[in-house]
Structure formats: C-alpha cells, structure tokens
Structure 1
Amino acid sequence: MAASPERIAFPVLSGDIGGTNARFALIQDEDAAIERIPTLATADYATIEDAMAAAIGDRPEAERPKTAILALAGPITGDRVQITNNHWAAEPKTMIERFGLSDVILLNDFEALSLSLPGLGEDGVDPIGDGIATPHGARVVVGPGTGLGAGALIHSRGRWVPIPGEGGHVDLGPVSPRDFEIWPHVEQTFGRMSTETLVCGSGMLRLYKAICAANSVEPTLANEADVAARGLAGDDPAAVETLQLFATYLGRFAGDLALIFSAYGGVYLAGGISTRIAPALKSGAFREAFVAKQPHRHLVERMATAIIVKPDPALAGIDHFARRPTEFGVELEGRWWQG
C-alpha cells in the first residue's frame, strides 16, 4: 500500500474530469484560496494534457503547478487510464514530462467527491427527508450525470478513508407491476440492464421512450433536458412519470448502498441532474424507495439523505486532501507518479 503523503508540493493543479466537462482549479499554497478556472468542454481538446495546458495558461514559473491531482471518471489502473465516456486517456508520465511536475495523483471522480463530504456543512446540502447524519458514520455519495457514479467514505483510526468503485454498473431489475410493463421496452446498454442504463442523463431519455412505448404513444421529446423540463412543469404525462420513476430507481440504488455501508453519516446526491430535478427528488418517490428495505426499513429511515448544492464538490474534496493529506487514508498504490 502506498500511504498518503504527509505533505503535497504546491502549487497544485486539481481537476475533475468527466465525460463532458473538465473542471480545473489552482491552489498556490496551503493557505491560499482555491482559484477556480472556467469549465472546459472535453470535446474542444484533443487530449487531457491540452486541456491542462489551457487551464495553466501562461502563468509565471512560480505559479505553475508542481503537483497535479486529477479526479477521473472510471477505474484507475495502469500508466494509461481511459476516462469513461470520454475520448481522453490520462498518462501521468506524459504529464510529468510536459509540465515539469514533481507528482501526479489520479483519483476516481467519486472518490474525490467523497473526500468533500466531511466539509460540506449545512449550507452545502439540501436535505431530503428527516434522517439525521452522525458525525463519524459512513457516508455514501451517488451522482447521475453522463453516467452513474458512486463512492463511500468511512472513518477509521482517526482518518477518513474513501472507497472508490463502479457501483453504477450493478444490475437493475423490475420491482413494481409498472416496472414489469416498462422493462420489455427499455433499450439495454452493453447487452444488459445496469442501474446506469436508466439512472443517468441518457438513461432519463431511455426511460421516457420506454414509458411511451409501454403506453403505445409516440415520444415527442428528443433529449433528457426537455424530458426534465416538461416533467417538472407537469405538462407532459410521460415526462412526469419519467421523473417519478427516475427518482424511484435512484432511491432504490442509494438505499442499497446505504445498507451495504451502514451509511449513518448520510447518503448524498451529486451532480447537475440531481440539483436540476431537485423538486422531483424531494416529492417523496426518492425517499420512499430509499427506505423500502424491509426487514431493515427501520434502520434506513434513520439515515440522512441530501442533495449536494456546494459548487464543484470534487474540486473541494481534492482541496481538502491537498491541504491536509494526513487526515485522509487515500490508497495511492499504482495511482501516484513522481518525477
């Protein structure tokens, strides 16, 4: 095991790299405020290194990063990491050579999100339901976006330990009679039905089309943004049901993870979709599906659920780790490269 470093070399370039957007920030030293850089579209750059160069710009040598800590969608394995739902691949040795870095650390994107959870505070979340988070209880973060990500954070021996994974790809099966009506019409992904098949941006449109097919009507909406907008407006019955079932399936998945990790520190929803459809998530369907875990409903009812409203929480998580690495037990074997 490669333990977390006791100190990180500053300045630090932090990055949250997803399928569609790349968000960067610079931290000049342990006491400096985080400097957020305007979001970059991944489609506008041939490589992640080109995007990093755009983020760094023409800063003087003293302000150029010595360390890069990047959160990537997908598993971190080997010296070349393909980013999920993205044409980029991260090659830390190339980054070290091109930018003169002393260190490159790669994290899973939801691992970085989980690092932000202890510092969210009351202003950083929008509660769903009546659960109460315990200070040192395990925490789970879930986020539908381009895909469906998940991660956990546990407190052990005085440190917060993130647990990365690819939980969004677990199987999703029908439960209610309505599910059984809809399921035959769902377009599968990769030859199977995972939770991500329906609980992500493209999954929302996939679910809408399946509902229309089950109702024997032609779909009239062409993208997930329209489905969300019409569902929230309440003027398209299929879109309204899409949001209700989207919230239900997200609640089932989040409740499963809550049981797995005994998440008495809370379950947190991240990403733009969660904030955009917050009224649907707070309408009751999400929370009811979350707690419907008989015979352990009484346990899950105690657990807090909330939407993260703090801006760029993955960058905030990297910021916490960079300034205070000894407070976290981050596994860095095979994920920390030095120049």
Structure 2
Amino acid sequence: MLSAGDHGFPFPILIGDIGGTNARFALLVDTYAEPKQLPPIKTGDFPTIEEAMQKSILDKTSVQPRSAILAVAGPIKGDEIPLTNAGWVIRPKDMLASLGLADVLIINDFEAQALAVATPADEDLVQIGGGSIRPSSSRVVLGPGTGLGVAGLVFAQHTWIPVPGEGGHVDIGPRTERDFRIWPFLEPIEGRMAGEQILCGRGIMNLYRAVCAADGEEPVLADQAAVTTSALSGSDPTAVETVSLFSTYLGRVAGDMAMIFMARGGVFLAGGISQKILPALMRPEFRAAFEDKAPHSALMRTIPTFAVVHPMAALSGLSAFARTPRDFGVATEGRRWRS
C-alpha cells in the first residue's frame, strides 16, 4: 500500500477504464484540475492497447502523460494481464518502454467503480427502494455490462479500501416454479450456471432464448438492444418477462453480495445496462428479490440500493485516487511498474 511518505504519481496522469468492449480515458493535468475526458476507444479496433493509446491519445494531444492508472476487466497477475472479455493483453513494461511513461498502476475495473462510490454526488445516484446509507460502512458495487463486475468497499482505519474480486462468477440457481421451467434451457459455462451467464449483455440474450424455449416459441429479437427496447416499450411480452426476470436475478445476487460485505453503506448498480433498464429496476421485482433473504429480510430492508447514473463513474473514482492516493487503501504491490 502507498505509505504516508509516498508522493503518489507524477503528473500529468492518464487514467483509463478498460472494459471488454470500450476503453475510456481522461487526462489529469494536476491535483486541482478536472479530468479532461478523451474520446472512447473500441477495444476491437486496435490489436494492442499501446497502439490504441498512441494513435488515439498521445498522437492527438500536446499534453504527454508521465503516469498511467488503468482499471482493467480481468485479474492482475504478473507482467501480462489478459482482459477477460476482450483480445488485449496489458503489458505494463511495454507501456513504460514504448509510450514514454515513468509509472504505471493497473487495478481491477470494479475497484475503480468502488472508489467512485466512496463519496458520490447526489446527482450521480438514483435510489431504488428504501433504506438509508450508514456513514463509514461497507459498500458493494455490481455492474452488469460485457460481464458482471463486483467489488466491495470497506472503511477501516479512516480509509476507504476497495476489495476487488470475481463475484460475478458465483453460482446462481432457480427458486420459483417459473425458474425451474426456464433453467434447463439456459446455456451454462462448463456445466454450471454462473451469475455472469445471465446478468450481462449476452446473458440477457441467454435468458431471452431460454424463456422462448420454455414456452415453445421461436426467438424473434436478434440482440440485447432489441430485447431491452421491446421490454421497456411493452411491445413484446417475452422481452418484458426477460427483463423482469433479469431484474429479479440481479436483485438476488445484489442481496447476496450485500450480506457478504454487510453493506450497510449501500449497494450500487454501475454499468450501462443498469442505466438502460432503470425503469425496470424501479419496478418492485428488483427490490423485492434483494430483500427476500430470510431470516435477514428486516436487515435487508434497511440497506439502500442505487443505480449509478454518472456516465464515467470509474474515471471519477480513478481521478479521486490519482489526486490523493494516500486517502485510499489501494494495494499497489505487484500492480505498479516504474521505469
């Protein structure tokens, strides 16, 4: 962890949120400046992150960063970090050599999302259901997107400490009679049903096809956007049920994570899908499933749930950390490279 005597990262700092589909960047010139957001990059448009950063960022700005703090979708082990849902392999030593950087820190993408909910602005949140935030208490972030990201945020010794993990890969099972009809038609991963098999973009399609199959119907909607749009407009009953079930299952997993972390500080839904289906999440299904955790339902009713509507929440969290790293308990051992 950064010690009290560590002066942090040399400015300017390039901060980045590298997901399975998109890579979003911003430049932080100094401690007091607002981050300058840069055009997002499709990860599939470039063979490597170095080429993407060079052609899309460094060649187009007069401000050359000295440091990079990047949040990536995947576990960080060693000098080669493959992304879970994209073709890039992050090689920090290559970034130091080829991009002229002096300092590179790689953290988990949902670690950055967790940093963003330490002190969120009211306008960046929409509360779903009841409950209220207990100050200085643990929090959880879940984000259905290309995959299902999960991270905790623990407050200890006057410091917010993000806890990354792979919570999106926990097992998820049927509970209701309807679930048991649908479950045989869901596509598993190596013989089991992980949360991410349902609670992400491709998971919506997995669920939609399973609902169709359970009812003996042919699927007519071709992609996630068509399903969510049809569901929100009410134009397709199967799509409506699919998104309703998605909300229910997301509520169950969110409730599980809330109990694991005893997240009296709140549970926060990040990512683009949560924003797109917010009207569905505001219906009773999500919150009812979240609270339905006997014998602890009374406790669950006190824990608030929110949708994060900040368009660049991860970059906001990274910016807060980059400005004052000693205010956060972000582990850097094995994840920081310097020239």
* Same fold, TM-score > 0.5, yes or no: yes
Structure 2 counterparts to residues 1-339 of structure 1, below 5 A: 5-53=6-54, 54-60=56-62, 63-339=63-339
Gaps of 5+ in 1: none
Q: How far, CA to CA, are the matches of 2:58 and 2:34 in structure 1?
A: 16
Question: Does the residue aligned with 1:171 lie in a helix, a strand or coil?
Answer: coil
Aligned 8 A contact 2:2 2:326 in 1: no
Given residue 238 of structure 2, which amino acid in structure 1 is its aligned partner?
A
Q: TM (normalized to structure 2)?
A: 0.97
| Amino acid in structure 2 at the alignment position of 1:7 | G
1:192 Cα deviation (Å)? Answer: 2.0
Aligned AA (1:9): P
CA distance in 1 between counterparts of 2:191 and 2:95 reads: 36
Alpha-carbon separation, structure 1, partners of 2:37 and 2:292: 40
Q: Indicate conservation of the 8 Å contact 2:2/2:325, yes or no.
A: no
Q: How far 1:140 moved relative to its partner?
A: 0.4
What SS class does the counterpart of residue 118 from structure 2 fall into? helix
Structure 1 stretches of 4+ with a deviation exceeding 6 A read: none
CA RMSD of aligned residues (A): 1.1
Amino acid at match of 1:41: K
In the alignment, is the contact (CA less than 8 A) between 1:153 and 1:161 conserved in 2? yes
What SS does structure 1 have at the residue aligned with 2:149?
Answer: strand
Q: Secondary structure at 1:118's aligned position in 2?
A: coil
**Partner Cα distance (2:26, 2:190) in 1:** 35
Which whole-Å CA distance do the structure 1 matches of 2:261 and 2:7 have between them? 28
How far off is 1:2 after superposition? 6.3
Q: Percent identity?
A: 49
- The DSSP-based 3-state class of the residue aligned with 1:38 is coil
Q: What is the one-letter code of the residue matched to 1:283?
A: R
Deviation at 1:310, TM superposition (A): 1.1
Provide the C-alpha distance between the structure 1 equivalents of 2:125 and 2:12, rounded to a whole number of angstroms. 29
> In 2 relative to 1, CA 3–211 (structure 1 residues): closer, same or farther, beyond 3 Å?
farther
1:119: how far off? 2.6
Distance 1:150 1:332 in 2: 19
Distance across 2 between alignment mates of 1:317 and 1:248: 28
Amino acid in the other structure paired with 1:69: I
Residues 217 and 195 of structure 1: CA distance in aligned 2, closer, same or farther (over 3 Å) = same
Give the drift of 1:14. 0.5
What is the distance in 1 between the residues matched to 2:225 and 2:330? 36
Matched residue of 2:302: which SS? coil
Deviation at 1:7, TM superposition (A): 2.1
Q: Alpha-carbon deviation of 1:58?
A: 4.1
Aligned length, in residue pairs: 337
